Amino acid sequence: MEKGQTNWGNAVKSYSRVGLVILTAVSILLVQSSAAIAASSRSSVFDTIRGGQAGILKRVVVSYLGLLAAYPDLRSSTHGEQERAIALTKMDMSISSMLFLFDPLNDLRSLKEFAALGSYYLGSHSAEIYGCLARRKGRALEPFLEQILHQSSTDCLDEFGEKANTKPGEVLICRTKEEENRGSRDLIEQINRGVGCSDQELLE
């Protein structure tokens, strides 16, 4: 079997394993919720659950992006157009689906986790969803976007390392610090102008 075919097979297997991450994430969330209920008051329980859920959702999104980086053949022209298109579409839909779940999560921890995703290349469609959700969160998100402007590194570079986007042929995962700052400033400016995002816009 050729090396390219082996890599493609490994990529497909890994993509299947990522699906298990979602099921595992749900199980972890249930365990965290039970522990929180036993140890906290009603109001703090809900904040703990929501914050924990946001962290899990972010981890799933980052796992999908890491898979693309680990198997650049998913974007390679060496494989059939149909197979590659199907794989990328499913992954983009998976990232988008995770982002949609951030919509009702507006506690402080969830807002921080959501803002950190601005340092990743999410894909064109998912990036539009991210921007829309950020505008919906409005001024509550603004302090976390401001924090990003004062940070020397990014969440993505901390996750994957400074050399994440420097190896020839690899899929870009991390936005540069300059790109992240520019994106954060743009969102702050839009929020201050009162630019929102309707349900219809979010679903388009």
Domain boundaries, the chain: 3-203
Indicate the DSSP class of residue 41: -
Token output for 28 = 């972890």
- Arithmetic mean of pLDDT, 151-169: 77
Q: What is the DSSP code string of 42-106?
A: HHHHHHHHHHHHHHHHHHHHHHHHHHHHH-GGGG-TTS-HHHHHHHHHHHHHHHHHHHHTTTT--
Dist CA 140 CA 105 (whole Å)? 11
Amino acid at 124: S
DSSP 140: G
- What the block records as the tokens of 145 is 């976007």
**Residue 201 pLDDT more than 70?**
yes
How would residue 97 be classed by pLDDT, with cut points 50, 70 and 90? confident
pLDDT at site 145:
97
Average pLDDT, the chain: 75
pLDDT band at 139 (very low <50, low <70, confident <90, very high): very high
Give tens-digit pLDDT for 110-136: 999 999 999 999 888 899 999 999 999
Residue at 183: amino acid letter: G
What pLDDT score does 162 carry?
Answer: 72
Q: Of the ranges 61-75, 77-91, 117-131, 162-176, which is most confident?
A: 117-131
